[in-house]
Chain A
Amino acid sequence: MNKNFLVGIVGNPNVGKSTIFNALTGAKEKTANWSGVTVKKKIGYFQYQGCNLELTDLPGLYSLGIAGHTSNDQKITINYLKKNEFNFIINVIDISNLKKSLYLTLQLIERRIPLILVLNMKDVAKKKGVFVNINEISQLLESPTVSINANNDSDIKILKEFLMSNLLVKSTLNIFDHYPKSIRKYHGIIKSYLKENLIFTSPTEIISMMESNLTIKNKDVYNFLKKTAKILNQDLRHSLAFLLVNSRYEFIKKRTKNLFFPEKKINKSITNIIDSLVLNKFLSIPILVTSIYFMFVFSIKLGSMLEDTLSLLIEGILIDIPLCILFKLQMYQDDWIKTGIIAIGEATKTIASFVPIITIIHLFLAFLEGSGYMSRSAVISNKIMKLVGLSGRSFLPIIVGLGCNVPAITGTRILSSDNERFVTVMMIPFISCTARLGVYTLFCHIFFPYNSQNVIFFLYTTSIVLSLFTGLLVRNSVQKTEQLNVMELPDYKVPKLKTIMNYSFIKTKSFILGAGKTIFLVFLVVHLVSSIKVIVKSADETSKAESVVNYLGKSTIKLLKPMGLCEDDWPMAVSLASGILAKEVVVGSIISLYSSQDEHIAPHIYEKISDIREKYKKAFTKKYHDIKSVFTKDFFIFEGQSGFSHEKIRVNSRIKENISKSFKDKLAVLSYLIFVLTYFPCVSVFGVISNEIGKKWAIISAIWSTSLAYSVSIIFYQTASYILYFDTNYYYLGIGWIILIFTAFLLRQTSMRHHKSISL
């Protein structure tokens, strides 16, 4: 007996396919309560009772398409089924919504695909009072059927046993026997014609022909089908595809009448109560904005409490203790070892300091996604998205972009219109991801310790405004296609703590291993490159050796002068250049460059281990009181207001002091942060844009975002300087506006040409 099996998981969106996939394979793929979470196929493996199963988790879909009209993610599932390279399909069905799920099941049965029906969410069905007769369903559809709750471990064991005992499942049911006579007749006519003319086609191809889903290359077959469709239309006054849809629903209506009892209204009423608030015409937008604002307040508040503790721990383990050992071994004068220890320690400490905030932001996003609020937010934002010619559905990948732009751009595959996908992809790079949050966090702690949350909220709002502005420029304003936009609003659920923690853990892990690794590497590379010297001539014609990084930084900083940066800020220019690799690298470079400016490290503290112990004891005691005061006093009093913050900065990092000295005012800091927020999307984002909408548009996106970053930063700095100090450089302000207007005009023209070429 063959012991290797290829199995696909197919079902409607949001029925728990990924949950089952994760439970069977031990994978940790994302799950959430909205349609379109899975946009690409994922492969996992599991072994049980000596059998090896390769499972493919596929994007959810309601049907196998009509006349080729379907979104890109759904095409992945349809193509997988067409290829027929599997032993059987696990068809996941929401037991509490059986009627709707069975439509897809019938389409699979029509194609003679071997199925195992997994009726999921039996806990939800129980709460709703839905009872389904599993045996009768199994007999009716002639497919093995099992009912489970995918979140329950013992049910997963039952599922594994069930799969093992039905590995050789075959489809025997001819569902057409249960369909109306007219459908049977035409199905028979097409089948016999193909058989007589020795055209070998699979059941999938025959049904696809009937649904107009197959491109027919054979001219005779094409003419025959056209003629048959015409006769059918005259005969029954409807298309074959329409009649097929009706036949399936008639079958479901008639044959499943006695298979289940109607639902109670318990869960519905909770959903309706919440909806009456969050979908209230006047409250919906304030609730949406407030929930996003609170996400930042809580993340930054709670995150920064843990951030310092974690940084202190890392500082102790990776800097203080090794330096103390160095001191004891009388090797403290060795600059190379000392610098190496400090470099590694500072890089690790920087990465560790972002971890709590990023973890908490992802906990919030996971909660929003798991609760069912995401679809509502898409509906609420529908009108705003309409401004740029999009539907509310485009809002979903944009929200995902708050975590990382790469999955967000891939997530646009849920959009069925190419035009809508194009505009959304062009907008996403402006959505501030968590990598950029690392840069904001560092600067806010140094320059805005009293209102970090407001500054970060301002930057996020700016990112949304710039994203909408880009959408306005690239939208197709001439040809308005009336795209069918229907969004399902799932019932609210209290997300499982395990799922939320899992989601946050995966994202944080990927940050540490992905972004963290890059920060660390760039940190070391910049340190190394800094040691390379070049000979430069100064103004008085004398030659002197200068670091190559210093030289490049000082040469390019002049370009950033209009946005408020001065000559001393050259490390910022170098950091922006390295940030092209990944936005989080900006932090690595800054820390590295400013730590190399740090010449004096007091050795006295390393003389006695008891001194280090005393330092941490003092710091942790203060931290304990700080945390305690947060819960006992006003929650909205941010750290720093207790007077601890500045001391903490001194204790924790001399680098922060170096950075704080470099900017001439806070406006320049904000202007720099706006530039970081907007300029060149990182290499990964560039790659994924190229993959989704083409290389040309990836390049255009990169040029546009950088010129937008430059012009907006200049305009912001010069305008704000005028408002606050009545001091502005009109020449720079003019340059800013000219760049903005000129590049916006070019982008608009190129987009119009693009839309025109598509419509031709």
Chain B
Amino acid sequence: MKNIYIKDINDGDSFSISDFLISNIQKIKLMEIGILPKIKMKLVKKSYFGTTIIECEGNKFALDNFIAEKILIKLIES
């Protein structure tokens, strides 16, 4: 399945992160709080007051849009 961005999917869709197009430190910082590649996540709201809200292993996170735009994902069909 080809890589897409979060903006290409709809609220409520499930996805997994395939790559982060951000600096190494930013990537590690995201992983440290539990936003990891290859695990199932859900898009709660995109472009919400400049943030993107995702749900990951039961935890909700609001990511700044500029970070969300640099995350390559794969859509998981329900």
Contact = CB atoms under 8 A, between A and B. Distances in A.
A69 B67 CA distance: 17
A487 B61 contact: yes
A746 interface: no
B32 interface: yes
B62 A392 contact: yes
A201 to B, nearest CB: 23
B62 A487 contact: yes
Contact of B64 (A103, A380, A485, A489): A485
Given A383-B50, A484-B67, A489-B53, A62 B33 contact: yes
A486 B27 contact: no
Interface string A247-277: 0010000000000000100001001000100
Given A239-B24, A249-B36, A484-B26, A279 B67 contact: no
Interface in A352-379: 375, 379
A155 B32 CA distance: 31
Contact of A489 (B29, B32, B61): B61
Given A263-B58, A486-B67, A382 B33 contact: no
A187 interface: no
A383 B30 contact: no
A754 interface: no
Contact of B45 (A246, A279, A381): A279
A386 B24 CA distance: 25
A306 B61 CA distance: 42
Interface string A455-485: 0000000000000000000000000001111
B61 A245 contact: no
- B: interface residue count bin: 20 to 34
Given A66-B25, A67-B25, A100-B57, A379 B62 contact: yes
B67 A242 contact: no
A486 B35 contact: yes
Contact of B32 (A63, A379, A381, A391): A63
Given A242-B24, A379-B49, A392-B51, A103 B62 contact: no
A263 B50 CA distance: 31
Contacts of A263: 58
A118 to B, nearest CB: 20
**For A242, A281, A485, which residue has the most chain B Cβ atoms within 10 angstroms?**
A485
Contact of B25 (A69, A380, A486): A69
Contacts of B63: 485-486
A488 B58 CA distance: 11
Contacts of A284: 49
Interface of A: 62-63, 66-67, 69, 97, 99-100, 103, 239, 241-242, 245-246, 249, 263, 268, 271, 275, 279, 281, 284, 375, 379-383, 386, 391-392, 482-489
Given A379-B62, A485-B67, 13 more contacts: A66-B28, A69-B29, A99-B34, A242-B24, A242-B27, A249-B31, A375-B62, A379-B49, A380-B49, A383-B50, A484-B22, A484-B67, A488-B61
6 contacts: A66-B28, A242-B28, A279-B53, A392-B49, A482-B66, A488-B60
